[in-house]
Amino acid sequence: MIDQPPAFVCHVTAVSDGDTFHCQERPVRVRLKDIDAPEIHGCRKGRICAPGDGYASKAALTRILASGTVHCVQYGTDRYRRPLVRCRVNGQDIGQTMLSTGYAVTWPYRGKGR
């Protein structure tokens, strides 16, 4: 039998940006796995950041998360100990929705830079 990653329903309490949000069920923010969204306050010197409008990306994720029950599966943690998750709302993968609407890119998150 293959072990399944931990799954949970996320009751969203806040959205940080286009790829990170808070779940009532977790002590730290969760980060969507395998996507990167534009930074809210711009890209710091020396980093490679996703292009686009960070505020628009955050607003898009906020709308998606508010559209139904958020079901997540955790796939480990990042270097900041945030759970890396794939989540669905109304049967739709949230990360894929962010990608298909142009609010995120398919750069796997590796912490500082790529």
**63-102 pLDDT per residue, tens:** 999 999 999 999 999 888 899 999 999 999 999 999 999 9
The per-residue pLDDT for 1 is: 58
Read off the pLDDT of residues 38-56 as tens digits, 9 standing for 90 and up: 999 888 888 888 999 999 9
pLDDT band at 108 (very low <50, low <70, confident <90, very high): low
Read off the pLDDT of residues 15-34 as tens digits, 9 standing for 90 and up: 999 999 999 988 899 999 99
The per-residue pLDDT for 100 is: 97
pLDDT band at 5 (very low <50, low <70, confident <90, very high): confident
Q: What is the SS3 assignment for the chain?
A: CCCCCCEEEECEEEECCCCEEEECCCCCCEEECCCECCCCCCCCCCCCCCCCCHHHHHHHHHHHHCCCCEEEEEEEECCCCCEEEEEEECCEEHHHHHHHCCCCECCCCCCCCC
Q: What is the pTM of this model?
A: 0.88
The per-residue pLDDT for 113 is: 43
